[in-house]
Structure 1
Amino acid sequence: MSGLGGRDIGHRVVVRHRIPGGLTDVIGVLQAWTSEFVTVRHADSTLHEIATGDVTAAKPIPEMPLRPVDVDQLFLTAALGRPAAETAHIGQWLLRASSGWTGRGNSLLPAGIPGVPVADALERAVAFYTERNLRPQAQVRVGSPPDQEIRALGWVDARPEQSDVLVMHTTLDHVNAKPAYEVQVAERPNDAWYATAFEGPVPAVAPQVLEKAAKTMFASVVLDGRVVAVGRGSMTGHWLGVDAIRVSADFRRRGLGTAIVQGLARWAGPDGGRRTYLEVLLENGAAMATYTRLGYQEAYRYRYLTNR
C-alpha cells in the first residue's frame, strides 16, 4: 500500500479500494494502518475498515479548510463544557458560582435573552453573587451587544491589567495526528493528575467543577515514572473542549502540551467529535504559538466586567 504508513495516522487520506462491481474512494482521517486492515474515519465519524489486499491506491491529502464558526453557539458550548458547581438562570442568562475558583466558574454568562430589562437582570446577578460573598462579574464577548449594554449601565473591566482571553477553534482533522508521546486517557483523574495540574493545594471545589460535565476525559503523559503533563477534554455535541493543560516546569518546551491536545482529539474523534476549541490569554505568547501551529484560529475574545 504505497503512499501511506503509520506516520499518517491522524491525517486526512484518500483510499481507493475494490468493492463488488468496481472501485470506490473513501476520504477521511486514517485511524489505523496494519498489514491486514486500513481504518478510515469519515467526516461523519463513520469508520470504514478496508482489507489491505483490496486497496489499489492510497495517499495523504490536504486538510479541509476551516469553516466559519457560530460564535453565539460556541460561547454557550464552552460554558457547558466546564459547568460551574452551582448554577441559576435569569431567563436564558446563566449565573455561575464555584466558591470563587476561576472567573468562568463565578460569573454571569449573558447568552440569549434575560427575559427582563438588562438593568433588572444585572441587579439580580449582583444579589446572587453578594449572597455568596463573591464579586459580581459578567463574562462578555468583546464588542458583543451584551458587552456594550452592560458597560452602558456602569460596569467596567474587572481585570484591566489582564489581556483578552481568546477562544480558538479548529477541526479535529488539524489536531489528531499521532502524538510524539504516549498519552493516557481516563474517565476520572487520579491524585497524580491533580498534583500536576495544580501548584500547591487543589481548591476544594476543583474536582466538582472539572468532573461535572456530562462527558469528560483526563489525559496525562508519564515520563521517568511520574506524570509530567496533563489536560482535560469535554464533549458537548460534536465539540471537544480542551482545558487544564499543564506541563511540569522541568519538562516544558518538549511538545508535551501538543501531545496532550492530540491525545484528547484522538479520544473525541471515534466518539463523534468533529471540532475543537480551547482558551488562551492573548499575552501567553508561547501557548498562542503552539495552538496556532496546530491549526487553531481565533473565534472570539472575552473579558470580565464588574460593577465595582
Structure 2
Amino acid sequence: MSGLGARDIGHRVVVRHRIPGGLTDLIGVLQAWTPETVTVRHADGTAHAIPTGDVTAAKTIPEMPLRPVDVDQLFLTAALGRPAAETAYLGHWLLRASAGWTGRGNSLLPAGDPGMPVSEGLAQAVRFYEAHRLPPQAQVRVGSPYDQEIRACGWVDARPEQSDVLVMHTTLDHVNALPTYDVELTERPDDQWYEAAFEGPVPVVAKQVLEGAAKAMFASVVLDGRVVAVARGSMTGHWLGVDAVRVCGDYRRRGLGTALVQGLARWAGAEGGRRTYLEVLLENEAAVTTYTRLGYREAYRYRYLTNR
C-alpha cells in the first residue's frame, strides 16, 4: 500500500519500498500516482517509478524551508517568463517592445553589463524606443546600483502616482495544495479565457506576448457555466512564474485566485519546478495578503524610470 493518492501530487513525500536485498527510503516530490505505480522525482531531477506492491510505507513530509533568492537571477528569469513581442540586446541589457502593452513588455531591463558606459547605453535605448514610437522606459530594481546610476543620468519616475511593484517568491511546496475548485489547464487559451482576462477589448499584441513563452500553461475556473477566473503560468528553468491572475467581479473573495495558483503549482511540480514567483502592486493590499498567506515572501521591488 502506498499511503498516497492523486491529491498529494506536487508535494514532498518519503516512500519506503523494497529493493533487491532489503528496503530503502526515497525522498522527493510526488510526480504521478496510479493504483499500480507511485512516481517520485528526486532532487536531482530523476523520476523513479515504484510499483505500489513494493511500497511498504509512504507519507507526505513538510515542505522545504524558504531559501534566500538570487535577486539578480530572478530579475532576468521573470523577464524570460513573459517575453516581449520584440527584443534586442545591448550587451546583457534587454530592450523590449510590445506595441505599448504593459510596462514589462516595453521597457529596458538593465540586467548585467551593457558593455558600454551607462549613459551611452541609455542613449541607445532612447533611440530604440523612439524608432518604435514608444516612450523610453527602464525597469529597475528599487535601490539597486542601476536604479541609482540611471537616475544620476537624469531619468525620473515614469509613474510617480503608482506604488512599487512587489516581486514575491516561495517554494512550490508552500503553494501546491489541492485546490478547492476544479482548475482547468490548457496550453492554448480560448476566447473565453481572454474575455475573462480583460475587461475590454483584448490588445492585438497580448496573445503574442502571453503565448510566447517556451513553456506556458493557462488556468481557468468555470462556475455557473462560464469562465470566471483565469491565470497564466510559465516555466523558466525550475521557476514557475504566475501572472495574468484575474477573477471576475462577482466571484471575488471566494478563494479562486488561490485555487488558480495551486493548480499551476501542481502542474509545475510535475514539470520539474521547485520555486515560484509572481508580481503584484504594493498598493493591492488584498492580493498581497492572499499571496503572503500562501507562503510568498518579498524578493525585491521595481519601478519604471523615464527620461521625460
Fold equivalence (TM over 0.5)? yes
TM-score normalised by structure 2 residue count = 0.94
SS of the residue aligned with 1:268? helix
Shift of 1:150: 0.4
Give 4+ residue runs of structure 1 displaced > 6 Å after superposition: none
Show the counterpart of 1:184.
184
What does residue 234 of structure 2 align with?
234
Please give the alpha-carbon distance, in whole angstroms, between the structure 2 residues aligned to 1:63 and 1:114.
Answer: 39
Q: CA deviation at 1:55?
A: 2.4
Q: Mark the CA change 1:159 to 1:256 in structure 2 (over 3 Å): closer, same or farther.
A: same
1:27 equivalent to 2:27? Answer: yes
Q: Equivalent residues in 2 for 1:1-308 (5 A)?
A: 1=1, 4=4, 7-308=7-308
Q: Quick check: 54-63 or 250-259, which moved more?
A: 54-63
Q: 1:134: Cα distance to partner? A: 1.4
Cα distance in 1 between the residues matched to 2:59 and 2:254: 29
CA distance 1:178–1:48, shift in 2 (3 Å): farther
Mapped to 2, the partners of 1:86 and 1:34 lie a distance apart of 44
Can you list the C-alpha shifts for 1:145-168, whole angstroms capped at 9, x where unaligned?
A: 110100111111111111111111
The 3 A distance-change label for structure 1 pair 178 and 125 is same
| Residues 1:3 and 1:188: Cα distance change in structure 2 (over 3 Å) | closer
Separation in 1 of the partners of 2:40 and 2:219? 24
Does the Cα contact within 8 Å between 2:31 and 2:270 map onto a contact in 1?
no
Q: CA deviation at 1:53?
A: 3.1
For 2:34 and 2:132, locate their aligned partners in 1 and report how far apart those are by CA, in whole Å: 57
Q: Provide the C-alpha distance between the structure 1 equivalents of 2:176 and 2:237, rounded to a whole number of angstroms.
A: 18
Offset, 1:40: 2.7
Partner of 2:231, secondary structure, is strand
TM-score normalised by L of structure 1: 0.94
In structure 2, the CA distance between the partners of 1:301 and 1:223, relative to structure 1 (3 Å rule), is same
Q: What is the Cα deviation at residue 47 of structure 1?
A: 2.9
Query: 1:180: how far off?
Result: 1.4
Deviation for aligned residue 1:4: 4.7
Q: Point out where structure 1 has 5 or more consecutive residues left out of the alignment.
A: none
User: Do the aligned partners of 1:43 and 1:274 also contact (CA within 8 Å) in 2?
Assistant: no
Q: Per the alignment, do residues 263 and 60 of structure 1 end up closer, same or farther by CA in structure 2, a change over 3 Å counting?
A: same
Q: Contact between 1:219 and 1:263, CA under 8 Å: does it hold in 2?
A: yes
Structure 2 unaligned blocks of 5 or more: none
1:45–1:270: 8 Å Cα contact kept in structure 2?
no
Distance 1:29 1:272 in 2: 9
- Once the two structures are TM-superposed, the CA of residue 227 in structure 1 deviates from its matched residue by 0.8
Residues 124 and 219 (structure 1), Cα distance of their counterparts in 2 relative to 1, 3 Å cut:
same
**Cα 1:177/1:41, change in 2 over 3 Å:** farther
Task: State how far apart, in whole Å, the 2-side matches of 1:2 and 1:275 are.
Answer: 26
SS in 2 for 1:205: helix
String of CA shifts for 1:46-84, please: whole Å, max 9, x gaps.
Answer: 333333333222232211111211111111111111111
Query: For residue 21 of structure 2, what is the amino acid of its counterpart?
Result: G
Q: How many residues align?
A: 308
Once residues 87 and 53 of structure 2 are traced to their aligned partners in structure 1, the CA distance between those partners, rounded to angstroms, is: 55
Distance in 1 of aligned mates of 2:125 and 2:257: 37
